């Protein structure tokens, strides 16, 4: 005659398995750096998607190529009239947008900002210049990397220009450097290529540790480096 487990024994086994799993399986949900990197990667891919479905080519606009969809990191969210004592000074955030018509130096208005696909009332920006205040409910707090993930610094390297914190995509989804040029694929006057020829490395740092995101040339595939 076979002996069956009692309900109490089954419950005890489940409890033990749960405890072991909690101890053995690495906890990633509390790693704010990695959480920030995963979010940024998903939004890089969304920017690439927008570029592919919303080609900015316009035969009537000479500088149409400067309006390609981009993801821009920005520091120093200072609003002297809206935030007394510079409450948001030196906080890192980012915005997904295309530029104003006729190119104004990568400063979009609300019409140029991407909408949150999960909430059309929100823009995909953690706050941008004096266009969208960080306390405006239409901004996305999660895109404020400083307060949401304790990110202290963002740097570009590899195939990206370290002096500009933009990543553009063309209509084929290829990642591009950002600078003011006079044609769609013209290289920087210093010889820096417009289309990436090596992986762009974005480093997010919390002051004691960092995580690196790579955006591969041609495909635009974004991933966390080991």
Per-residue confidence (pLDDT) for residue 132, from 0 to 100: 84
Per-residue confidence (pLDDT) for residue 128, from 0 to 100: 79
CA distance 205 to 202: 10
Q: 73-84 b/e with 16+ CB inside 10 Å = b?
A: bbeebebeeebe
Per-residue confidence (pLDDT) for residue 101, from 0 to 100: 63
Q: Is 43 helix (H, G, I), strand (E, B) or coil?
A: helix
Per-residue confidence (pLDDT) for residue 107, from 0 to 100: 73
Per-residue confidence (pLDDT) for residue 208, from 0 to 100: 94
CA distance 22 to 33: 21
- CA R_g for the chain: 22
CA triplet 36, 42, 46: central angle to 5 degrees?
140
The tokens describing 111, both together, are 């019409």
CA distance 46 to 118: 12
Domain residue ranges of the chain, discontinuous segments joined by +: 31-224
- Give the residues of the chain that fall short of pLDDT 50: 23, 26-29, 79-80
| Residue 47: its H or E element | helix 32-53
Q: Is 143 helix (H, G, I), strand (E, B) or coil?
A: helix
| Residue 214: its H or E element | strand 210-215
CA distance 21 to 24: 5
CA distance 104 to 86: 26
């Amino acid at each position: 005659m076979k002996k069956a487990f009692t309900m109490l024994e089954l419950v005890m086994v489940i409890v033990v398995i749960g405890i072991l799993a909690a101890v053995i399986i690495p906890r990633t949900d509390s790693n704010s750096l990695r959480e920030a990197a995963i979010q940024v990667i998903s939004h890089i891919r969304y920017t690439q998607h927008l570029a592919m479905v919303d080609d900015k080519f316009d035969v009537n606009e000479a500088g149409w190529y400067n309006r390609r969809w981009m993801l821009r990191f920005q520091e120093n969210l200072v609003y002297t009239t809206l935030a007394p004592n510079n409450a948001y000074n030196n906080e890192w955030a980012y915005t997904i947008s295309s530029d104003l018509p006729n190119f104004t130096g990568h400063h979009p208005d609300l019409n140029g900002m991407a909408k949150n696909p999960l909430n059309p009332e929100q823009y995909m920006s953690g706050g941008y210049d004096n266009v969208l205040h960080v306390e405006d409910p239409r901004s996305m707090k999660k895109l404020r990397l400083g307060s949401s993930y304790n990110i202290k610094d963002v740097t570009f390297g590899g195939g990206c220009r370290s002096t500009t914190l933009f990543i553009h995509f063309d209509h084929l989804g290829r990642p591009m450097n950002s600078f003011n040029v006079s044609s769609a694929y013209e290289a920087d006057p210093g010889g820096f290529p417009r289309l990436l020829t090596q992986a762009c490395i974005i480093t997010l740092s919390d002051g004691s540790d960092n995580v690196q995101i790579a955006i591969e040339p041609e495909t635009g595939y974004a991933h966390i480096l080991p």
